[in-house]
Amino acid sequence: MIHINAHYLKLNASYLFSEIAKRVAAHQQQHPEVPVIRLGIGDVTHALPAACIAAFHQAVDEMAQDSTFRGYGPEQGYAFLREAIAANDFQARGADIHADEIFVSDGAKCDTGNIQEIFATDTRIAIPDPVYPVYLDTNVMAGRTGTYRNGRYEGVVYLDGSMENGFIPALPEEPVDLIYLCFPNNPTGATITKEQLKAWVDYAAANKAIILFDAAYEAFIRDDRLPHSIYEIEGAREVAIEFRSFSKTAGFTGTRCAYTVVPKSLMAYTAAGEAHSVHSLWNRRQSTKFNGVAYPVQCAAAAIYSDAGKAQMTGLIDGYMENAALVRKEMQALGYACIGGENSPYIWIATGSDSWSFFDMLLAKAGVVCTPGAGFGTCGEGFIRISAFNSHENVSTAMSRIGQALNT
């Protein structure tokens, strides 16, 4: 008799964004006359940069000729893209990262979910609260947690965020093995300083732990004092894996391209205490389970690093950050405390009420979709997240509707 993976049964209710989609669909069915403005899920709304489109077309044309056709590519990514990433995203900022330490993939969501496979099932994990659900749910699926009780899973070390600590949690009070960090943060939009990040690197080194650093939103940082990469911090090569994505920075949500950095100097340990290369483990995992990102997609991604691509990508990000500034300004004017929206496309808003009820109210009264904070963890209750990913016209309309809804 075939048995299921019983750990899947421990997952709490529906996946957050699936539940949002169900509620929005029900609302639209009941009120088809009211156009809904979506500021919930972090999906971009503008077209790919022109430089990327040109590179895409050229690569597709190459695929149309036998002489330039390409079949299976390297699972780790083509050298031209890996070299551009290393030079522009790391070496230009003084971070000692090389092309052969970069693994191109089809999404940071996939990589942050899959990376846990290469670590032991009894690994002690530390996860922020609130948090991007994929970090937690994939560890539940893998069997690293106990049952779900009172809003949390047994066996997980939760790193609490609050308005008081600016949603930058304190170091764990007990030894842990694997630490998830995300800055600029999803969902809160909080950012971390180099000094604060150095404390985490030092903790990981002292405890022989590894930091999984999600930097998918680094391109939205406007403050030059803030680190874009954990590898700007001394000692991080020995304790950290970093995840990046082209989804939000260049609009690749529908095109799928990202990358993960695994330094060759990063080690984990066998049960006998022997050091083993994490880079080699991830390389084996990707070579076994992944056939690589399509050649035209990688060509389009490489075009981001051209002069034209950089300028066009900056223009896209500037537009989204104008939206973020508007959301933050309007919500503060309505009397709500906010985090984010300055170095992040997300605005985390303290509503002081049940987050799903606030979500339902904005949907019903304003026709605006946000994300309820409770979907990101117990510390997210009493908050909502509003995304800046939409046209400026739609965001302006949404804020006008929200203002009317909250003032009636």
Mean predicted confidence (pLDDT) in 366-377: 95
CATH at 342 = 3.90.1150.10
84-88: average pLDDT: 98
CA neighbor of 42 nearest in space, from 316, 391, 390, 402: 390
- pLDDT per residue over 18-56, tens digit each? 889 899 999 999 999 989 999 988 889 999 999 999 999
Give Cα separations from 32 to 35, 363, 396 (angstroms): 7, 13, 21
What are residue 122's phi and psi, to 5 degrees? -95, 15
pLDDT at site 13? 65
Question: How wide is the angle at C-alpha 20 spanned by C-alphas 250 and 164, nearest 5°?
Answer: 75
Are 63 and 168 in the same domain?
A: yes
Express each pLDDT in 323-339 by its tens digit: 999 999 999 999 999 99
Q: Model confidence at 96, in pLDDT bands (50, 70, 90)?
A: very high
End-to-end distance of the chain based on CA atoms, in angstroms?
Answer: 59
183 and 259 in one domain?
Answer: yes
Q: Would you say residue 182 has pLDDT above 70?
A: yes
- Containing H/E element for 182? strand 178-182
- Supply the range of the domain harboring residue 164: 53-306
Does the pLDDT at position 387 exceed 70?
yes
Q: Mark whether 41 and 167 lie in a shared domain.
A: no
pLDDT score of 2 more than 70? yes
For residue 175, pLDDT beyond 80:
yes
Q: Do 154 and 294 lie in a common domain?
A: yes
Spatial contact of 145 and 153, defined as CB atoms under 8 Å apart: yes
% pLDDT > 90, the chain: 94
Give, in degrees to the nearest 5, the angle at Cα 131 between 97 and 239. 30
Eight-state DSSP code of residue 76: T
Q: What percent of the chain has pLDDT over 70?
A: 100
CB neighbours of 259 closer than 8 A, spacing ≥ 6? Answer: 77, 82, 85, 102, 103, 104, 105, 243, 244
The answer to whether the beta carbons of residues 349 and 336 sit under 8 Å apart is yes
Residue 181 lies in a domain: yes
The CATH code of the domain that includes 128 is 3.40.640.10
Structural domain count of the chain: 2
* Cβ atoms of residues 272 and 234 within 8 Å: no
pLDDT at 14 over 80: no
pLDDT in tens, 269-311: 999 999 999 999 999 999 999 999 999 999 999 999 999 999 9
* Residue 388 resides in a domain: yes
Is the same domain home to 90 and 11? Answer: no
Phi, psi of 348 (to 5 degrees): -105, 120
- Both 289 and 215 in a single domain? yes
Task: Find the farthest-apart pair of alpha carbons in the chain and give their distance in angstroms, rounded.
Answer: 66
What is the mean predicted confidence (pLDDT) over 254-265?
98
